[in-house]
Amino acid sequence: MIVDYDVEINVLAGMLKDEKSLYEGLSLLTEQHFNGDQHKEVFREIQRLSSNGQVTYNMVYKALRETVHMDLFKALRQSIVSADSFPYWYKQLHEIYVKRLYFEAAQEISEIANSNRPLSEITEIVESKIMGASVQEGTERIVTPEEAGRKAAEEFERRVKSGETIHGIKLSRPVPSGGMPVTDGFPGLDDMFRGLRGGDLIILAAKTGEGKTTLAQNIVRHASIHQSYRTFYQNTEMKEIDIVNRFVAQMTGKSYAGIDSGSLDSFDRTLVRQAFENYAKSRVFISELPMLTPERSRGLARQFKTKYGKLDLLVIDYVGRMELDNSKGKQEWQILRDIAKECKRLAQQLDTCVILVAQLNEEGKLQGARAMANEADGVLFLEPLTREEVNNAPYGATHKLEPYKARRGSKDKHLWISFNKAKMYITEVRG
């Protein structure tokens, strides 16, 4: 068995000393990286506490002093690991973990090879064991043409059999209205992206007060309230009650102010109470994060996937409140580009769609838009209609959604949007 307890101690101690190290560790490590039961217990407690920010030695000691041996706490306090040396230690731990997986796979393969199983079955098991270990080495690997071609062909046949043209998260649905169905949501985005998919990075941008958060939340509503996709909504500005009240306003068509103040009439209160029950059954998970970095976002998203399984959609609201640890000496556009690059990497690593909400300046521009677009699969600007555009737009349109980039579709045509601010409701309007 390949184990190094000193490495494990230094990794745990480093995560307790520095916030960047904490989320860097959480983005890669799992409790299976640690061999000792008490080391695993400390790591689990760090994971649990990290949703509220930096975790300290004293916090873990207070929580586990009755169950974890004092020798371990003494070793954690005496560790000389630093923020600069932490990457070395956690990479060492990951390498030890992968080697341990190979060692365990070799033992199992040895037993299987000495069995009476058919050779074809042994070969299949051996390949799966080796692949299970090798995939832990990182996301960069060489895919053979046979494997890539087979997977693409299988996915093609699945799509043909499905009879659907949208393969991913669909953002529109028919709803009854006076006997005639109307479309709620964003059929234009469905046409543009053909479904939000794992690995996608979509950037939504608008000026302050023009609906960027409301647009993101209405997308979440379609994904995880009207459908069963899992969304992790990371918000840097609002309390969770405010966030839920906005969703309930969208779901009921009642005013957000009335829900927030509790001043609705008895009939509307009944609808709102039912909507709260429906929201509680949804798959919208929330974090209040007044301070957010790419490392912290990645660490929390990885925790989410470990705890809840598949993460279909991650919404980061918003990039203006997101900090970059290594931003010293960089211009604003370079910082935003690097954040977009980190978010794209996160989308690919976790096989999830990431929506990054951004803010346009007073001139309606996004600093670093071109550099950010290079990292993204879609960039969309939500803008209010000019007086001239109102005369030519479909009835009910108040805004337009302007595609700056659309990797799988056309960016030559904007979408007409209706934004009902009182009800926090946004939908596409088609002429």
pLDDT in tens, 41-91: 999 999 888 877 789 999 999 999 999 999 999 999 999 999 889 989 988
Closest CA to 63 of 36, 91, 89, 44: 44
- Take residue 233 and report the two structure tokens written for it: 């909504």
4-47 residue pLDDT tens:
889 999 999 999 998 888 888 887 788 889 988 999 999 999 98
Compute and round to an integer the Cα radius of gyration of the chain.
25
Instruction: Specify the pLDDT at position 270.
Output: 95
Residue 318 has pLDDT above 70, yes or no: yes
Report whether 98 contacts 133 (CB < 8 A). yes
Determine which helix (DSSP H) or strand (DSSP E) holds 380, and give its type and residue range: strand 378-384
Which three-class secondary structure state does DSSP give residue 403? strand
User: What's the whole-number mean pLDDT along residues 287-314?
Assistant: 81
- pLDDT, one tens digit per residue, over 396-421 is 999 999 998 888 777 678 899 999 99
For residue 409, how many C-alpha atoms fall within 13 Å in the half-sphere facing its CB? Answer: 21
Backbone angles phi, psi at 359, to 5 degrees: -120, 130
- 222, 193 in Cβ contact below 8 A? no
pTM given for the model: 0.73
Do residues 316 and 343 touch, judged by C-beta distance below 8 A?
A: yes
One-letter identity of residue 49? L
Asked if the bond preceding 229 is cis, omega within 30° of 0, the reply is: no
Q: Which residue is listed with tokens 């302050």?
A: 208
Cα 49 to Cα 248: distance, rounded to the nearest angstrom: 29
Q: What is the pLDDT of residues 102-161, one digit of tens each?
A: 887 788 778 877 878 777 666 666 656 555 554 444 444 567 788 888 888 988 898 888
Q: How far apart (Å, rounded) are the C-alpha atoms in residues 315 and 356?
A: 6
